[in-house]
Chains A and B, each alone.
Chain A
Amino acid sequence: MSDELGFIDPTAGGSKRRITLAPRPMDLAGKVVGLLDNTKEQGMLILETLGAALRERYGVARVIIRSKEHYSKPATSSLIDDMAKEVQVAIAAVGG
């Protein structure tokens, strides 16, 4: 590229690797749902509302809600690991 242009183009390429989506279950009946609250306003209320609706309407067995330390930091690996041991699907809220 440098030869053609005569100078360097350091434009970052974006990640070339692809991560495959985790396989989805057929439905949520009997499943445990993990809800990750990022402490932003309204996050907990959104997740509680979703959790209740999933139990009432979609047969979800149990809902686990955990909170992060602060909305502008990623959850710690250990928090995600702990949740991953117990849940079959997860919802993170709220970005924004």
Chain B
Amino acid sequence: MCSVHDTIEFEKRGIPATVIITQAFRNAAVFQFRGKGMEGHPYIELPHPISNLKPEEMREVTLRFVEQTVKQLTA
């Protein structure tokens, strides 16, 4: 799953990064981080599914994860 790959590429360049995934891809993300040498790398997991959410609903769900995102990107 390529967003994980992209996240790792940022980390390799010294840029703290995280990835937004949905629940259905959690195992895949954990597996990929481990396989690429970043076992335990944090990620933001949104509840699945999101594809049917209306824009206001999607915004509302996203805003619930802002603080967690900041925690993952800062010391």
Query: Taking the nearest CB of chain B, how far is it from the CB of A4, in angstroms?
Result: 26
Minimum distance in angstroms from B40 CB to a CB of chain A: 9
Q: Which of A18, A45, A58, A96 interacts with B37 by CB under 8 Å?
A: A18
A83 to B39, CA, bound (A): 24
* Contact assessment for B19 and A95 in the assembled complex, using a CB-CB cutoff below 8 Å: yes
Interface size class of B (residues with CB under 8 A): 35 or more
Nearest Cβ distance between residue B24 and chain A, in whole angstroms? Answer: 6
* Pair B25/A96 contact, Cβ less than 8 Å: yes
Q: Nearest A residue to B10 by beta-carbon distance?
A: A90
A2 within 8 A of B: no
Known: A94-B20, A95-B25, A96-B21. A89 touches B15 (CB 8 A): yes
Are B38 and A19 interface neighbours, CB within 8 A? yes
- The reply to whether B2 and A73 contact each other, CB–CB distance below 8 Å, is yes
- Within 8 Å by CB of A77, from B9, B39, B63, B65, lies B9
Tell whether, in the assembled complex, residue A24 and residue B20 are in contact, meaning their CB atoms are under 8 Å apart.
no
Task: Tell whether, in the assembled complex, residue B2 and residue A21 are in contact, meaning their CB atoms are under 8 Å apart.
Answer: no
30 contacts between A and B (CB under 8 A): A14-B34, A14-B35, A18-B39, A19-B12, A19-B36, A22-B13, A23-B14, A23-B16, A24-B16, A25-B74, A26-B75, A28-B74, A38-B3, A38-B6, A42-B50, A46-B58, A49-B59, A54-B70, A68-B2, A68-B6, A72-B2, A75-B9, A77-B9, A81-B13, A90-B18, A91-B19, A91-B20, A91-B69, A91-B73, A94-B46
